[in-house]
Amino acid sequence: MASSSQITLWIEEVEAQRQKVALGQAFVELWRDGRRVRVEVASLADLETYLQTLRSELVEAQIAEGTTPTRRRRAIGLAYRN
Burial bucket for residue 72 (CB in 10 Å: 0-12, 13-18, 19+): exposed
pLDDT in tens, 44-64: 888 999 999 999 999 888 888
Q: How many domains does the chain have?
A: 1
Which of 1-5, 6-10, 63-67, 75-79 ranks highest by mean pLDDT?
6-10
| DSSP letter (8 states) at residue 69 | S
pLDDT value at 74 more than 80? no
Provide the pLDDT confidence category of residue 6 given band limits of 50, 70 and 90: very high
Give me the domain span that covers residue 55.
Answer: 4-65
Is there a domain that residue 12 lies in? yes
Q: Say how far apart CA 21 and CA 27 lie, in whole Å.
A: 8
List the CATH number of the domain containing 52.
3.30.1580
